[in-house]
Homo-oligomer: A and B are copies of this chain.
């Protein structure tokens, strides 16, 4: 079928390409004309403006937005007046699900359908397919089934859970209608929260392995520094790239994120190419906001988000306060302090 695609960043361009490869026709638009040119291939048609894109599509139109969450509302405001009752707008980016609820209601007033799709898979999705978490009206979602089928990885992406496939479960194909407006982004939000936690678990564990030789390093003796009580227990110089590779084979913690970790460590064992300042997209924070609203404990997921904040220096004022308090009660001066009895 035919789909409009707005936003030709890494994700949008790849998704249009995958759709075209599966026999669909994409009419694509991006603010950057060169992005449109780069995207063209059999099955992909460029549009020079939103108006042109809308005019090119058959009715009922289906238009997929793959743009930063911060500009979705602006794009919807431009698009909505161009559309007709029965048309479908799809937000496949990283919107907060609360915006989906609002947008779904707003567009309904115009009889335009809204579908939110949480999209996972990253840059590898072009070849492997994307995992799609979908929210919206049941019939509208069903209408888009050919699109979802083409984008999703298909059942071969994983062995059947019970040994055989369940005929009417699209989950096994890699896409799922999760519920009403926002349900797709809600599930994707939690997916990303979990992702943060898993990434952090590997990172912390590998950092412990990385420092397993600490007993070989000298340490000074003063009242401020804890001497390592048992240096003989920390004499290991571990080969992290090999260990990450090892765990991929049969361990309980094998996963795709571990595959990526092994790849990164093999390419750059000391990770010298990275500074360690870790961004966080909104999903991690919104996951915690949901946990707080629901009164669900989420210490792991919150630790993962806070580690990222700290990696960017956002704890600096708090740390200065700790130093100031230590100076206050113990006369401790940072780093050169002598005894002072906390």
Q: Which A132-168 residues have a C-beta within 8 angstroms of B? A: 133, 152-155, 157-159, 161-162
Instruction: Let me know if A306 and B298 touch, CB within 8 A.
Output: yes
The 8 Å CB contact of A201, one of B179, B198, B320, is: B198
State the main secondary structure of chain A at its contact with B: helix
Does A42 sit within 8 A of B, measured CB to CB?
no
Q: Could you tell me the distance in whole angstroms from the C-beta of A13 to the nearest C-beta in chain B? A: 10
On chain B, the residues within 8 Å of A323 by CB distance are 271, 274-278
Instruction: Let me know if B236 and A316 touch, CB within 8 A.
Output: no
On chain B, the residues within 8 Å of A340 by CB distance are 9-11, 122-123
On chain B, the residues within 8 Å of A66 by CB distance are 339
Q: Given A193-B205, A205-B287, A322-B203, does the pair A173, B249 have CB atoms closer than 8 Å?
A: yes
**A47-55, A80-88, A94-102 - the one binding chain B:** A94-102
Q: Which A298-324 residues have a C-beta within 8 angstroms of B? A: 298-312, 314-324
Q: Given A101-B233, A212-B294, A257-B252, does the pair A201, B203 have CB atoms closer than 8 Å?
A: no
Instruction: Let me know if B264 and A321 touch, CB within 8 A.
Output: yes
**How far is A258 from B292 in the complex, measured between Cα atoms in Å?**
24
**A20-28, A56-64, A107-115, A325-333 - the one binding chain B:** A325-333
Q: Which A259-290 residues have a C-beta within 8 angstroms of B? A: 259-266, 268, 271, 273-283, 285, 287-290
Instruction: Let me know if B190 and A205 touch, CB within 8 A.
Output: yes
Residue of B nearest to A288 (CB): B292
Instruction: Let me know if A194 and B255 touch, CB within 8 A.
Output: no
Does A232 sit within 8 A of B, measured CB to CB?
yes
On chain B, the residues within 8 Å of A75 by CB distance are none
Q: Given A161-B245, A242-B169, does the pair A306, B302 have CB atoms closer than 8 Å?
A: yes
**How far is A340 from B319 in the complex, measured between Cα atoms in Å?**
33
Contact with B along A121-132 (1 / 0, CB 8 A): 111110011110
How many copies of this chain? 4
Q: Given A173-B249, A207-B321, A252-B195, does the pair A297, B310 have CB atoms closer than 8 Å?
A: yes
The 8 Å CB contact of A328, one of B125, B246, B261, is: B261
Q: Give the A interface residue count (CB, 8 A).
A: 185
Residue of B nearest to A71 (CB): B221
Q: Which A183-205 residues have a C-beta within 8 angstroms of B? A: 183, 186-187, 190-205
Does A31 sit within 8 A of B, measured CB to CB?
no
Q: Which A1-53 residues have a C-beta within 8 angstroms of B? A: 7, 9-12
Q: Given A197-B204, A322-B308, does the pair A252, B256 have CB atoms closer than 8 Å?
A: yes
Can you list the 3 inter-chain pairs with the closest CB atoms, starting with the nearest?
A197-B201, A255-B255, A276-B319
**Contacts A/B (CB < 8 Å), 5 sampled:** A7-B339, A176-B246, A205-B287, A208-B290, A279-B326
